[in-house]
Structure formats: structure tokens, C-alpha cells
């Protein structure tokens, strides 16, 4: 028999209590695993394709406000700018707005595929077909797989923003390319189609665009180019805000609120509750065993060794719950990653860093919850322990 | 015979609120190696405190406690724990076995404090259980054993690491007469055949008769010594 055996046997002396505690810890780590992985995926998605030499020009009021299309040429003329394109959020969905919304932009095809050639991987034939076909659309592989779209197929894509003169919200688009991302983990649940097609058929917002993407000659010029652009449109009806692509993407995601903060708050609340439940239960469990601890000390077990055993119990409990919680959340996330709904986030699977953070959190939880009973076991005098009724 | 344990001018006080209570005020006594001593006395006479001092589970306020020629009253907590592990076996009134462990595992507990290899540990446990005639109950948990059997397991636990001294605190206080006599005969056997020095605190004159001699403790001093 080893100290580990003794710790294990003590932990499971009341199986129901241990199971209930394990389930509580399991729930906390399930929440941690799911939310943290989701947050990581969202942050990763915000960085997907973000290049250091690209800037995004949007309306200073808010990036949901439009800019005149005439700005594109003026921005292109700014010194240091080597490429310009534009895009407009379409509010795209396929058939059912509630269940099949995805990322969709109306873009200038030639300049867009050129500026994002690294992130939107198409064959030369597909690029050519897209640029040459007015109703052409390029769709990400995830989206094509999700809806079973094939090259050459015409698909009805609807908008929850734009309306056609006859009241329809649906545009027929011909799939001219199916793109992949720079990395396998990049989200490809998106589509891009001709701005002109939208501009000519929409009832409002004509000659207006969502934002302008700018490539600079060097990232060292980014600040200077951004200032020049914003200065050029200062005091106009459409003032601009120019930021690097990563900053823009993060601001875009923050539409849903500060996800980092929300995740931190939810996880912290779950752990605060678990901390109190587990601590109280362990203190009470240790009280029940006061006499046994006294006997162990009487037999010659040193106080530090008893302390290690009590801490070991708390650690074993928290690690057990954590491993189960993280394993189940990894399993659920892997399943979600393959679902159409989650494809927007790209790779949802639990990263080694999240798993490692979870295990470190489990060790911290074990040490904190075990601290009070372990300290009382350390201090407990044999005489007092054996006299305890 | 030479002294196994000797108390020289030992003092021990307790505080109850603001009041100080002197349990021992200059207690001097000596227990020879291989002796079997019963200590009797009324409640509050200091029997259990004496046992605690002899077993190194409590500290005296003054005087000397010498075990086998070595002063132990100045030992640190860690030194005392190590000394208890190798030198003293404890037998309690209510057995104090670990309910989650089998009889054999309970007996093995003191061996966890040694560096004996697993096989040697198993052999020692088997021997200890054989001495108390409980080999067939090795895999039983305490709740599956009678009171007498539990006390036998406790005795096996006390002797498994071959200590020189056995301290028994009312070892038969929770047992019926016949079972108590069985336990006392076992202690007598350990004293006579294995040469264990035994100090037994008891209220029971019948139990005391199994000892070689009886010391009567009253108000912190030995008022009477009977053979």
C-alpha cells in the first residue's frame, strides 16, 4: 500500500459524495473547456487572413455605416498604397434566415481576389470565371460542402438587408469558384459576389460600400497611410477610420459584446461556486476524520505527510473532475466542429493550450480547496484529535 | 532488568480558561524492559496524560523523559513522530482502525513509515495477523469484524513494526468479559513470549490482574504500588 492508495481509498470512502463533487467540478470544467475553446476559435477567426500590410477604411461613425464608392479611387491615389478593393456586408442567408446565415460580401471581383489571393485560394480558371461572370459567386469550401453546391450551379442567395425593386430579397448567383483558406483551420464558410450585380439591382444604398481594404507598400507605412486617408476625408459627410486588419476584425467580433470578458466572468462565476462547494465539503469531510488523522499521527505519520495526503485528496478530486470535464468538452467541440452551424468559427477543437490551462486550473482548484482542511490537519494536535467525540 | 522508560521530575499543566491545572508536579517513575504494568486510578488522575507523555503524543512542561537511555522530551515534532513509528505500538479502547482499509491494510499502516520492500511488508503483516489469530480475516474491513476481532487487528498493527513498547489505553473497555480476557491473554503472551514492554491504562481490576504489577495513580502521583 502506498500513500496514493490511501488517498484514493479515503477519497472514495463515501462514493455518493465524491461522485456529486466530481460532477460539480466536471460541470465547471465543461463550461471552461467549451467557452474558452469558443473564445480561442473566435479570436483565431478574427486573425484569419489578417495581414500586416493591409488596412481597412470604414466609416468613422461605425463600420456598419456606408462609404461612397468614389472613395476607392481617392484612397488608391494616396502615397504608399499599392492595392485597393472594397466589400459590402450582404447579410447573406440560404433559404432560411434563422438557420442558414453566413458571411457574404459584395466585392469588386478583380481587385478583391488580387488583394486577398493568399487567403482566398482559387485556381486561375476559377478567378477568371468569377471576374468574367456578372452573377458569379465564389464560395468557401465549408459552405459548398454544407449545402452541396457545385461549380456551375446557380444558387439563390438571400439578404436580410437589401431588397430588389420587385420586393424580392433573393439574388440568383452562379458558383464560379470554390475557395479554400491559407490554412486548413481557416474558416471558409463565406461567399463573395459582384458588387456591380448588387449595386444595379438594389433599391437602396447604391454607389455605397461597406469598407475599403488597402494594401500598403510596407507595414512601416501603415500609420502614415492611415493618417493620410483619414485626413483626406476629415470634415466630410463620410469621415473615415482607418485601422489595421486585425484591429478591424476584432472590432467586428465585438459587436456581440466583449467575449473575452463574458467568458472570463462566466468561468469565474462557475469556479467561485465550485470553490465554495468543494472547500466546505472537504472541510466537513476532514472533520469527520479528525480521529483518524490523530491515529495516523500517533502511529508516526509526520504532520507534513498528513498534509500532503489531504492536499492529495483535493488534487485527485479536482483533477478527476477536470479531466472528465475537459475530455467531454473536447469531444463535444470535435462534434461541433463538423457541424454546419459552427463552421463559421473554423476549427473549434480544443487546443493543447486550453487543455493545459484547464489542468493548471484543476491543480490550483485542488490546492485552494484543500488548503483549509490540509492546514487544519497539519496543526491538529494528537491529543485533541483523539479526544474529539 | 534495565529501565526502558524513565520519567524524572516531570511536570505537566493544563489551562482551563484562566485557571492552570497541575496534572503532574515532579512525577518520577521507571518501567523496566519486558515489564507488563497496569496503571489504574480514578478519572482525572492523569492516567491518559501519562500515557500520552510516555508515547510522545504530548509534551511535558518540565523534567526528563528517557527512553532506552535517550532523552526524548526535547525531540522536535518530526523526531517524535519517527521515534513513535519505530519504538511504540498503540492500542486504543475503541480500536481506531481505518474503516476504508482491510484488516491487512490497517496492519500495514505503520510499515508505510519504513523502507521495507513490499514483499517483506506483506510477510510482516501476515506474521502479525497470525500472532493475533486473524489470518483468515485479512481481507475483511473493520465493520465486518466483531469488537474483539477489531482489537486483535489493532494489536497486530501495534506489533507489526516490532516496537519495544506497547501502550494500551483501556484496551478492553469496549469488550465483554470473555473477549476482554482473550485480548488480555494475547497481551500477556506478547509480553512473555516476545518480550514486549507493555503499559496498560485500565479501570478494570480484572484486566489489571493480567499485568505483572499495578500502579495506582491519584492526583498526579503514584499513591500505591502493588505486585
Distance CA B3, CA B66 (A): 9
Residues of A with CB under 8 A from a CB of B: 1-3, 6, 9-10, 12-13, 291-292, 295-304, 381-383, 386
Kindly list the residues from chain A whose CB atom is less than 8 angstroms away from the CB atom of residue B78: 302-304
Q: Is residue B9 part of a domain?
A: no
User: B150: distance to nearest CA of chain A, Å?
Assistant: 15
In this structure, the strands spanning B221-226 and B213-218 are: antiparallel
Q: Is residue B135 part of a domain?
A: yes
Question: Rounded to 5 degrees, what are φ and ψ at A165?
Answer: -55, -30
In this structure, the strands spanning B197-201 and B213-218 are: unpaired
CATH of residue B110: 3.40.50.300
Q: Is residue B70 part of a domain?
A: no
Q: Is residue B218 part of a domain?
A: yes
pLDDT for A48 equals 60
Q: Is residue B213 part of a domain?
A: yes
Q: Is residue B127 part of a domain?
A: yes
Q: How confident is the model at residue B67 (pLDDT cuts 50, 70, 90)?
A: very high
Q: Which of B96, B116, B157 to mutate to test the interface with A (most CBs of A within 10 A)?
A: B96
Q: Is B86 on the interface with A (CB under 8 A)?
A: yes
Q: Sign of torsion, CA A380 A382 A384 A388?
A: positive
Q: Is residue B27 part of a domain?
A: no
| pLDDT tens sequence across A245-274 | 877 777 766 665 667 778 788 888 888 888
* Mean pLDDT confidence for B113-121: 92
* Mean pLDDT confidence for B211-220: 87
Distance CA B134, CA B153 (A): 8
Q: Is residue B153 part of a domain?
A: yes
Q: Do B82 and A300 touch (CB under 8 A)?
A: yes
Q: What is the mean pLDDT of chain B?
A: 90
Q: What is the mean pLDDT of chain A?
A: 88
Give me the DSSP letters along B10-33.
EEEEEEETTEEEEEEEEEEEEEET
pLDDT for B225 equals 57
Q: Find all residues with CB under 8 Å of A48, minimum gap 6, and list them.
A: A119, A181, A182, A183, A186, A187, A249, A346
| pLDDT tens sequence across A24-67 | 999 999 999 988 888 887 777 666 656 678 899 999 998 889 99
pLDDT for A46 equals 64
pLDDT of B86 over the 60 cut: yes
pLDDT for A253 equals 66
Q: A214 or A335, which is more confident?
A: A214
Distance CA B122, CA B112 (A): 11
pLDDT for A49 equals 58
| pLDDT tens sequence across A123-177 | 999 999 999 999 999 999 989 998 999 999 999 999 999 999 999 999 999 999 9
pLDDT of A389 over the 60 cut: no
Q: Is B99 on the interface with A (CB under 8 A)?
A: yes
pLDDT for A184 equals 75
Q: Considering only the beta carbons, identify the residue of A1, A303, A382 that sits closest to B112.
A: A1
Percent of chain B with pLDDT over 90: 66
pLDDT of A340 over the 60 cut: no
Q: Do A302 and B77 touch (CB under 8 A)?
A: yes
Residues of the domain holding B193:
34-48+81-226
Q: Find all residues with CB under 8 Å of A250, minimum gap 6, and list them.
A: A43, A46
pLDDT for A147 equals 92
pLDDT of A208 over the 70 cut: yes
Distance CA B79, CA B56 (A): 10
Number of separate domains in chain B: 1
* Mean pLDDT confidence for B87-111: 93
Kindly list the residues from chain A whose CB atom is less than 8 angstroms away from the CB atom of residue B157: 299
Closest-CA residue to A216 (of A54, A67, A382, A339): A54
Nearest chain A residue to B160, by CA? A299
pLDDT for A388 equals 62
**Is the distance from CB of A145 to CB of A78 less than 8 angstroms?**
no
Amino acid at each position: 500500500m502506498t500513500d496514493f492508495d490511501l488517498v484514493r481509498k479515503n477519497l472514495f470512502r463515501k462514493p455518493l459524495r465524491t461522485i456529486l463533487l466530481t460532477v460539480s467540478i466536471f460541470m465547471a470544467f465543461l463550461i471552461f473547456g467549451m467557452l474558452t475553446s469558443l473564445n480561442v476559435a473566435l479570436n483565431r477567426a478574427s486573425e484569419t487572413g489578417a495581414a500586416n500590410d493591409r488596412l481597412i477604411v470604414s466609416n468613422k461613425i461605425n463600420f456598419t455605416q456606408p462609404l461612397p464608392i468614389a472613395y476607392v479611387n481617392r484612397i488608391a491615389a494616396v502615397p504608399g498604397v499599392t492595392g485597393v478593393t472594397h466589400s459590402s456586408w450582404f447579410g447573406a442567408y440560404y433559404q432560411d434566415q434563422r438557420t442558414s446565415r453566413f458571411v457574404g460580401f459584395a466585392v469588386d471581383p478583380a481587385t478583391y481576389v488580387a488583394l486577398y489571393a493568399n487567403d482566398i485560394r482559387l485556381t486561375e480558371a476559377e478567378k477568371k470565371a468569377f471576374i468574367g461572370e456578372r452573377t458569379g459567386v465564389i464560395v468557401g469550401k465549408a459552405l459548398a460542402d454544407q449545402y452541396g453546391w457545385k461549380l456551375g450551379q446557380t444558387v439563390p442567395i438571400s439578404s436580410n438587408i437589401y431588397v430588389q425593386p420587385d420586393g424580392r430579397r433573393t439574388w440568383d448567383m452562379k458558383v464560379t469558384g470554390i475557395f479554400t483558406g491559407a490554412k486548413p483551420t481557416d474558416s471558409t464558410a463565406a461567399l463573395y459576389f459582384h458588387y456591380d450585380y448588387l449595386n444595379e439591382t438594389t433599391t437602396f444604398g447604391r454607389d455605397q460600400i461597406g469598407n475599403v481594404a488597402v494594401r500598403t507598400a510596407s507595414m512601416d507605412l501603415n500609420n502614415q497611410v492611415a493618417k493620410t486617408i483619414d485626413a483626406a476625408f476629415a470634415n466630410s459627410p463620410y469621415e473615415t477610420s482607418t485601422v489595421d486588419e486585425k484591429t478591424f476584425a476584432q472590432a467586428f467580433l465585438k459587436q456581440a459584446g466583449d467575449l473575452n470578458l463574458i467568458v472570463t466572468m462566466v468561468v469565474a462565476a462557475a469556479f467561485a461556486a465550485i470553490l465554495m462547494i468543494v472547500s466546505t465539503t472537504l472541510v466537513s469531510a476532514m472533520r469527520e476524520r479528525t480521529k483518524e488523522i490523530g491515529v495516523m499521527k500517533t502511529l508516526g505519520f509526520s504532520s507534513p505527510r498528513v498534509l500532503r495526503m489531504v492536499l492529495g485528496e483535493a488534487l485527485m478530486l479536482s483533477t478527476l473532475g477536470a479531466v472528465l470535464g475537459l475530455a467531454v468538452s473536447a469531444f463535444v467541440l470535435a462534434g461541433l466542429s463538423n457541424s454546419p452551424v459552427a463552421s463559421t468559427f473554423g476549427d473549434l477543437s480544443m487546443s493543447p493550450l486550453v487543455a493545459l490551462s484547464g489542468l493548471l486550473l484543476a491543480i490550483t482548484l485542488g490546492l485552494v480547496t484543500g488548503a483549509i482542511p490540509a492546514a487544519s490537519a497539519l496543526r491538529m494536535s494528537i491529543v485533541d484529535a483523539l479526544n474529539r467525540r | 532488568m534495565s529501565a526502558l522508560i524513565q520519567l524524572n521530575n516531570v511536570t505537566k499543566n493544563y489551562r482551563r480558561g484562566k485557571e492552570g491545572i497541575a496534572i503532574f508536579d515532579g512525577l518520577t517513575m521507571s518501567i523496566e524492559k519486558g515489564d507488563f504494568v497496569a496503571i489504574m486510578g480514578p478519572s482525572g488522575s492523569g492516567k491518559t496524560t501519562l500515557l500520552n507523555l510516555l508515547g510522545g503524543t504530548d509534551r511535558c512542561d518540565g523534567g526528563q523523559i528517557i527512553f532506552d537511555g535517550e532523552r526524548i522530551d526535547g525531540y522536535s515534532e518530526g523526531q517524535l513522530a519517527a521515534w513513535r513509528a519505530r519504538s511504540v505500538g498503540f492500542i486504543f479502547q475503541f480500536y481506531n482502525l481505518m474503516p476504508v482499509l482491510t484488516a491487512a491494510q490497517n496492519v500495514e499502516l505503520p510499515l508505510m513509515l519504513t523502507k521495507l520492500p513490499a514483499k517483506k511488508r506483506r510477510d510482516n503483516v501476515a506474521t502479525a495477523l497470525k500472532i493475533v489469530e486473524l489470518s483468515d480475516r485479512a481481507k475483511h474491513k473493520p465493520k465486518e469484524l466483531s469488537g474483539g476481532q477489531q482489537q486483535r487487528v489493532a494489536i497486530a498493527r501495534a506489533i507489526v513494526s516490532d516496537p519495544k513498547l506497547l501502550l494500551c489505553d483501556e484496551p478492553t473497555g469496549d469488550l465483554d468479559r470473555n473477549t476482554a480476557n482473550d485480548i488480555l491473554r494475547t497481551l500477556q503472551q506478547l509480553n512473555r513470549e516476545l518480550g514486549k514492554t507493555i503499559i496498560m491504562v485500565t479501570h478494570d481490576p480484572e484486566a489489571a490482574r493480567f499485568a505483572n504489577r499495578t500502579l495506582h495513580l491519584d492526583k498526579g502521583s503514584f499513591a500505591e504500588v502493588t505486585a
